[in-house]
């Protein structure tokens, strides 16, 4: 793309004949009228400081190249050997999907589904959706967890290194490269640039709002467009629109309290059992951390402790603060609370490290009487805590904090 400026949202309306676009902050709900934004620049919300819009340079060309590269890497990662393990002359190979299959064989289908969805299905959908269903982009973002998976691989590697000889396969390097490609796509791809290109080609048409019309922001594609009739979908992507996320407070409370209840079995029950020469030793999340610490792996022990024990508690406490202050209509530190929401929403996925580590160990260590690792019921409860808190954060609508404090939308 060579044009020096990019029209935003396709809105050509301005009382004075100039070019204006309307953007609504997805974190505090403040509406902004914005003119031309040059590639390489971004617009920030003047009230809460979150990014309203970013226009990357050469977004289309660079994104396309990265998506093609990413799809090739996904094929390599899923067809080549991922890791191999050698204990007392016996060799065990594992592919990326082996962990999920081994969990399935042990009857742990919820865990198998979570591991497969976050390491294979979501990244594939995210890459595929990038150019076909742009609306899916924002929704899929938190669920593609390759970087978290790689950290889980590292923890598993450290735990196994005394027990066996481990070799890293081609698929591992492909996955590591894929992680970098996914990060690059997030930086390079500007959904608004793609929408603008589609509008120019006549693939989508966007109505121009009249000054007195009621406007709604689409949660899927961010377009601020008129409400034609009650419940009318987004004219650009067809998603259902709401002024605010429906039943946000009630749903967030329900999911958060579910997570609190699940947190108990997640920590009380073993997440895995290492069976070596007939005798088994069950591991809870905390005893796994202790084991790493006793082996002198302090940084890793701290990392797993932070990701598995501290982060879920911080998320639950953070959500409780957001919910209670919103319900009380508090004016207290609105901007900081919006930042708190951003942290709660983005940090949760890192808690999956232990779940991924378990899936790798279960998939790799299947050497019968010599050494076998079996998943425990605590792992399902723990994965459920991570997922319910992630959905709880998505259900919470930070704009309600500003509404409740009487700030204008």
Which CB atom, from 221 or from 255, has the smaller least distance to Zn ion?
221
Binding of residue 53 to Zn ion (CB under 5 A): no
In Å, the largest CA–CA distance within the chain is 82
Do residues 378 and 267 touch, judged by C-beta distance below 8 A?
yes
Which CB atom, from 47 or from 54, has the smaller least distance to Zn ion?
47
Binding of residue 365 to Zn ion (CB under 5 A): no
Of 8, 22, 23, 28, which one interacts with Zn ion (CB under 5 A)?
A: 28
Which CB atom, from 124 or from 239, has the smaller least distance to Zn ion?
239
Rounded Cα–Cα distance for residues 47 and 403 (Å): 13
* CA 333 from centre of chain: 26
Residue ranges of E strands in 28-182: 31-34, 41-44, 51-55, 83-87, 90-94, 165-168
Do residues 110 and 380 touch, judged by C-beta distance below 8 A?
yes
Which CB atom, from 134 or from 364, has the smaller least distance to Zn ion?
134
212 three-class SS: coil
Taking CA atoms, 130 is separated from 123, 190, 288, in Å, by 11, 10, 38
Sole window of 48-56, 121-129, 321-329, 366-374 interacting with Zn ion (rule: CB under 5 A)? 48-56
Binding of residue 218 to Zn ion (CB under 5 A): yes
Rounded Cα–Cα distance for residues 63 and 54 (Å): 14
Instruction: Provide, rounded to whole angstroms, the least separation between the CB of residue 308 and Zn ion.
Output: 32
**Residue 222-261 contact track with Zn ion, rule CB under 5 A, x = bound:** -x----------x-xx-x----------------------
Instruction: Provide, rounded to whole angstroms, the least separation between the CB of residue 183 and Zn ion.
Output: 25
Binding of residue 401 to Zn ion (CB under 5 A): no
Partners of 225 in the β-ladder: 216
Residue ranges of E strands in 169-321: 215-217, 224-226, 272-276, 279-283
Binding of residue 309 to Zn ion (CB under 5 A): no
Of 8, 23, 37, 45, which one interacts with Zn ion (CB under 5 A)?
A: 45
Of 22, 37, 48, 137, which one interacts with Zn ion (CB under 5 A)?
A: 48
Q: What is the phi/psi pair of residue 30, to 5°?
A: -70, 135
Partners of 22 in the β-ladder: 33
Q: Which residues contact residue 202 at a Cβ distance below 8 angstroms, ignoring those fewer than 6 apart?
A: none
Binding of residue 43 to Zn ion (CB under 5 A): no
Binding of residue 22 to Zn ion (CB under 5 A): no
Q: Which residues contact residue 381 at a Cβ distance below 8 angstroms, ignoring those fewer than 6 apart?
A: 262, 265, 266, 269
Instruction: Provide, rounded to whole angstroms, the least separation between the CB of residue 122 and Zn ion.
Output: 21
Instruction: Provide, rounded to whole angstroms, the least separation between the CB of residue 341 and Zn ion.
Output: 11
Taking CA atoms, 325 is separated from 80, 310, 320, 407, in Å, by 51, 22, 8, 14
Which CB atom, from 223 or from 364, has the smaller least distance to Zn ion?
223
Counting residues that bind Zn ion (by CB under 5 A) gives 15
Binding of residue 301 to Zn ion (CB under 5 A): no
Binding of residue 367 to Zn ion (CB under 5 A): no
Which CB atom, from 193 or from 223, has the smaller least distance to Zn ion?
223
Sole window of 23-31, 106-114, 194-202, 341-349 interacting with Zn ion (rule: CB under 5 A)? 23-31
Sole window of 28-36, 79-87, 155-163, 192-200 interacting with Zn ion (rule: CB under 5 A)? 28-36
Residues near Zn ion (CB under 5 A) are: 25, 27-28, 30, 45, 47-48, 218, 220-221, 223, 234, 236-237, 239
């Amino acid at each position: 793309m060579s044009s020096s400026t990019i029209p935003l949202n396709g809105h050509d309306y301005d009382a004075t004949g100039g070019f204006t676009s309307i953007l609504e902050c997805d974190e505090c709900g403040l509406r902004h009228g914005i003119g031309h934004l040059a590639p390489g620049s971004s617009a920030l919300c003047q009230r809460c400081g979150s990014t309203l819009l970013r226009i990357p340079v050469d977004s289309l060309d660079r994104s396309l190249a990265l998506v093609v590269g990413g799809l090739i890497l996904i094929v390599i990662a899923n067809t080549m050997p991922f890791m191999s393990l050698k204990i007392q002359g016996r060799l065990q190979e594992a592919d990326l999907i082996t962990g999920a299959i081994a969990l399935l064989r042990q009857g742990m289908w919820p865990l198998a589904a979570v591991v497969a969805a976050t390491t294979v299905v979501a990244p594939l959908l995210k890459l595929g959706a990038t150019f076909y269903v742009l609306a899916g982009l924002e929704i899929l973002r938190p669920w593609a967890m390759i970087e978290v998976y790689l950290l889980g691989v590292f923890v598993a590697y450290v735990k196994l290194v005394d027990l066996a000889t481990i070799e890293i396969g081609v698929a591992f390097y492909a996955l590591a490269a894929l992680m970098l490609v996914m990060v690059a796509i997030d930086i390079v791809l500007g959904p608004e640039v793609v929408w603008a290109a589609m509008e120019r080609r006549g693939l989508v048409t966007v109505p121009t709002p009249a000054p007195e019309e009621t406007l709604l922001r689409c949660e899927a594609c961010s377009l601020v467009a008129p409400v034609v009739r009650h419940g009318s979908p987004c004219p650009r992507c067809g998603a259902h629109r709401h002024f605010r996320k429906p039943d946000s407070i009630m749903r967030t409370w329900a999911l958060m309290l579910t997570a609190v209840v699940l947190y108990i079995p997640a920590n009380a029950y073993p997440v895995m059992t290492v069976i070596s020469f007939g005798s088994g030793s069950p591991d809870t999340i905390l005893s796994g951390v202790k084991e790493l610490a006793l082996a002198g792996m302090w940084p890793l022990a701290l990392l797993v402790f932070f990701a598995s024990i501290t982060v879920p508690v911080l998320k639950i406490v953070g959500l409780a603060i957001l919910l209670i202050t919103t319900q009380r209509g508090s004016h207290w530190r609105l901007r900081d609370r919006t930042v708190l929401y951003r942290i709660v929403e983005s940090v949760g996925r890192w808690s999956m490290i232990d779940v991924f580590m378990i899936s790798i160990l279960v998939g790799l260590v299947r050497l019968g009487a010599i050494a076998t690792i079996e998943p425990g019921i605590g792992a399902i409860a723990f994965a459920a805590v991570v997922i319910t808190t992630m959905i709880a954060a998505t259900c919470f609508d930070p704009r309600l904090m500003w509404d409740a404090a009487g700030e204008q939308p």
